[in-house]
């Protein structure tokens, strides 16, 4: 049972959330102020998975408390509540480590949706911590049995992450085939480039998991039908680093994590999050960025139709040497017919 700490100066909100979340199967503790929450968090059994806190409280504000929580309990998933009609405070909270926000007044269905997403993320963080402790134990044992257990753990971890990636596809695209499609497309390009089997495996896994960090992006930003604001782009661009931090917990995913971290870098150094250029960007990310861009251009969005194949290819050519590695663009153009066939298959 996941444990939730609710912090709000409105007693009616505390009662409501205690009842609603308790009915959903969560263990709920409440605090009427930031100061009361601080006392609870200092107790020996203060092992909470999720914190829900109001931004505007008398005394120490929710934003100040959020910073303390981010430092003291980085693994705790933080949700902020706000009755402010503007989203300025909510965006500030997201920048300071909040996972998502919910506007007051909220309905039962909306509340449950946001908390369930936070719970999924909390369980993923727990899973990563469990694997890290497991690996440390395996290092100490160094036995054949430990090696077999490690392989089983590796397979289970891969399955967990891939299943989560499929769920994210459904959340963002309305169906679950985007990640498997770009994986097939990327492997066509890998074969044309004669990549080593190990590099192809990294590319395939990275393609499946490239957007796993979007689990940390609020629906209001990720699913927004129109153009994002500058502040919203700051939040959206966090997904590469979030994904990297999720995947790098497992040593066998070190290169995959680097691909996930770097798949929005540009060959000329103008990409994000680190502004890498040229061969400082890992091979897998340089290959995959072409496939990801092509798939994005060909795919329809709520606010636009997908580009034609010829138009998308022209855009890839336009990015030759700027957004994309020239050698890999040449390989893409040579294998485009097969890549387009994989896209058309869905």
pLDDT of residue 214: 87
Instruction: Say whether both 213 and 296 belong to one domain.
Output: yes
In a domain, 143, yes or no: no
Instruction: Say whether both 156 and 297 belong to one domain.
Output: yes
Total count of domains within the chain = 2
**pLDDT of residue 85 exceeding 60:** no
Nearest Cα to Cα of residue 6 among 127, 111, 128: 111
What CATH number should be reported for the domain holding residue 107?
3.40.50.2300
Residue-averaged pLDDT of the chain: 85
Instruction: Say whether both 53 and 187 belong to one domain.
Output: no
d(CA 216, CA 218): 7
Task: State the pTM of this model.
Answer: 0.66
In a domain, 137, yes or no: no
Residue 301's pLDDT band, with cuts at 50, 70 and 90, is confident
**CB under 8 Å to 264, separation ≥6 — which residues?**
237, 240, 271, 272, 273, 289
State pLDDT tens for residues 11-67. Answer: 999 999 999 999 999 999 999 998 999 888 888 888 899 999 998 888 888 888 888
**pLDDT of residue 172 exceeding 70:** no
More confident residue, 135 or 57: 57
**pLDDT of residue 119 exceeding 60:** yes
Instruction: Say whether both 340 and 249 belong to one domain.
Output: yes
In a domain, 208, yes or no: yes
Instruction: Say whether both 105 and 155 belong to one domain.
Output: no
State pLDDT tens for residues 206-257. Answer: 998 898 888 888 888 888 888 888 888 999 999 999 989 888 877 778 899 9
d(CA 26, CA 20): 9
User: Residue 303 is part of which domain span?
Assistant: 148-345
What CATH number should be reported for the domain holding residue 226?
1.10.3210.10
What percent of the chain clears pLDDT 90, i.e. is strictly above it? Answer: 45
In a domain, 126, yes or no: no
**pLDDT of residue 71 exceeding 80:** no
Instruction: Say whether both 115 and 154 belong to one domain.
Output: no
In a domain, 15, yes or no: yes
In a domain, 264, yes or no: yes
In a domain, 9, yes or no: yes
């Amino acid at each position: 049972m996941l444990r939730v700490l609710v912090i709000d100066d409105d007693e009616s909100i505390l009662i409501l959330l205690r009842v609603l979340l308790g009915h959903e199967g969560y263990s709920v503790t409440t605090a009427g102020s930031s100061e009361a929450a601080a006392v609870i968090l200092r107790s020996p059994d203060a092992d909470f998975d999720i914190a829900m806190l109001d931004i505007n409280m008398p005394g120490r504000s929710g934003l100040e408390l959020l910073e303390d929580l981010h430092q003291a309990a980085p693994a705790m998933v933080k949700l902020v509540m706000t009755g402010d009609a503007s989203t300025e405070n909510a965006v500030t909270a997201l920048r300071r480590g909040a996972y998502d926000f919910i506007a007051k007044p909220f309905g039962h269905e909306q509340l449950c949706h946001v908390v369930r997403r936070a719970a999924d993320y909390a369980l993923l963080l727990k899973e990563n911590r469990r694997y890290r402790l497991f690996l440390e134990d395996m290092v100490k044992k160094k036995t054949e049995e430990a090696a077999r257990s490690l392989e089983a753990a590796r397979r289970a971890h891969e399955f967990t992450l891939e299943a989560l990636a499929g769920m994210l596809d459904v959340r963002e695209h309305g169906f679950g085939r985007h990640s498997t499609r770009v994986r097939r497309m990327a492997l066509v390009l890998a074969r044309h480039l004669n990549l080593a089997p190990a590099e192809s495996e990294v590319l395939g896994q990275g393609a499946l998991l490239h957007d796993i960090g979007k689990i940390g992006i609020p629906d209001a930003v990720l699913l927004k039908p129109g153009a994002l604001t500058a502040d919203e782009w700051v939040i959206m661009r966090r997904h590469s680093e979030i994904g990297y931090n999720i995947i790098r917990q497992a040593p066998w995913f070190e290169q995959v994590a680097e691909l996930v971290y770097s798949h929005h870098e540009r060959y000329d150094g103008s990409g994000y999050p680190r502004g890498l250029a040229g061969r400082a960007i890992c091979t897998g990310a340089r290959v995959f960025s072409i496939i990801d861009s092509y798939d994005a251009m060909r795919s329809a969005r709520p606010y636009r139709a997908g580009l034609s194949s010829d138009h998308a290819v022209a855009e890839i050519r336009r990015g030759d040497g700027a957004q994309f590695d020239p050698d890999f663009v040449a390989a893409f153009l040579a294998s485009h017919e097969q890549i387009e066939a994989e896209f058309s298959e869905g």
